Amino acid sequence: MPMRILIIEDDPDAAGYITKALREAGHLADHAPDGLEGYALAREGDYDVLVVDRMLPKLDGLSVIRSLREQKVETPVLILSALGQVDDRVKGLRAGGDDYLAKPYAFSELLARVEALARRRVGPAGEATVYRVGDLELDRLSHNVTRAGEEILLQPREFRLLEYLMRNAGQVVTRTMLLENVWDYHFDPQTNVIDVHVSRLRSKIDKGYATPLIHTIRGAGYMVRDGAR
């Protein structure tokens, strides 16, 4: 399902690149070159996600978000910023942003985060008690995981990892998104720590079954998806 995305970014190159890439990914992308125009568009247009640069002419990004939230515009916002420090992130989220991405970023990372945000808005399925992908079931209350009716025993962290992947089923989830949402750390681990965790989880979930459910998306991250579909 294509999403309507508004990019508020003053750098024409960066904006052009994101807009083009989002359209290639099958979404509808609009662009506003400054804070005021962005604010006006965001208020009027029915967007699924806003991508807002922090430093904007006329009205800075955080003020745009704050004003929108005051006007009860609850569209999810991904903040883009050259400032990647912890306190900047906290400031951004406090202003009403929903996610924060430091520049420079990989487009795959941006896309994955934008799609995750949009999905959170579109489908209240994220709050369902039981997640189902193919024959895999995860019960968030009883912490039971079964595949084809057979119970799978998971460590607490493996459970959270699978839960996050399944909540975003059909979506690419990047390594940093996993680190942020499952471990609550925002730094960039230099070794492949996340990959090893995912491959362990995979060995429990997919081993011995004909259709793999956890897929590696090259150059981007992971995705839980019913391969049969």
Partner 1 sequence: MTALGKLVRTTVFKLLAMYLVLFVLFAGFVIGYVGWNTRQVIDGQIRDTIEAEIRGLSEQYRVGGIRRLVGIIERRTREPGASLYLVTTFAGEFLAGNVDSVPFEILDRPGVHETFYSPGDELDRRSREAMAHVFVLPGGFRLLVGRDLAERERLNEVTREALLISLGLVTVLACVGGWFIMGRVLKRVDAMTETARTIMAGDLGGRLAVAGTGDELDRLALNLNAMLERINELMTGMKEVSDNIAHDLKTPLTRLRNRAEEALRNATTTEEYARAIEDTIEESDNLISVFNALLTIARLEAGNAPANGAPFDLAETARSVAELYEAVADEALTPVVVAIAPDLVLPVAGNRELAGQALANLVDNALKYGSSGDEKKAIVISARRERDVDGRETAVIEVADRGPGIPEADREHVLERFARLESSRTRPGFGLGLSLVAAVVRMHDGRLTLADNAPGLRVVLALPVAAVSDTIARPPAQGEAATEHLT
Q: How far is the CB of 58 from partner 1 (least distance, A)?
A: 27
Q: How far is the CB of 228 from partner 1 (least distance, A)?
A: 27
Q: How far is the CB of 172 from partner 1 (least distance, A)?
A: 17
Q: Concatenated DSSP letters for 58-101?
A: SS-HHHHHHHHHHTT----EEEEES--SHHHHHHHHHTT-SEEE
Q: Which is nearer to partner 1, 59 or 220 (CB)?
A: 220
Q: Which is nearer to partner 1, 2 or 189 (CB)?
A: 189
Helices (H) and strands (E) in the chain, counts: 8, 12
Q: Which is nearer to partner 1, 105 or 209 (CB)?
A: 105
Q: Which is nearer to partner 1, 13 or 70 (CB)?
A: 13
Q: How far is the CB of 187 from partner 1 (least distance, A)?
A: 4
Phi and psi, residue 28, nearest 5°: -100, 120
- Pairing assessment for the beta strands 221-224 and 173-174 based on DSSP bridges: antiparallel
Using CB under 8 A, list all residues that contact partner 1: 84-87, 90, 102, 104, 106, 126, 140-141, 143, 156-157, 159-160, 163-164, 167, 180-181, 183-193, 196-197, 200, 219
Q: Which is nearer to partner 1, 192 or 211 (CB)?
A: 192
- Pairing assessment for the beta strands 28-32 and 4-8 based on DSSP bridges: parallel
The enclosing H or E element of 105 equals: none
Q: How far is the CB of 13 from partner 1 (least distance, A)?
A: 16
Q: Concatenated DSSP letters for 17-68?
A: HHHHHHHHTT-EEEEESSHHHHHHHHHHS--SEEEEESS-SSS-HHHHHHHH
Q: How far is the CB of 188 from partner 1 (least distance, A)?
A: 5
Query: Interior CA angle at 75 toward 102 and 182, to 5°?
Result: 50
Q: Which is nearer to partner 1, 71 or 203 (CB)?
A: 203
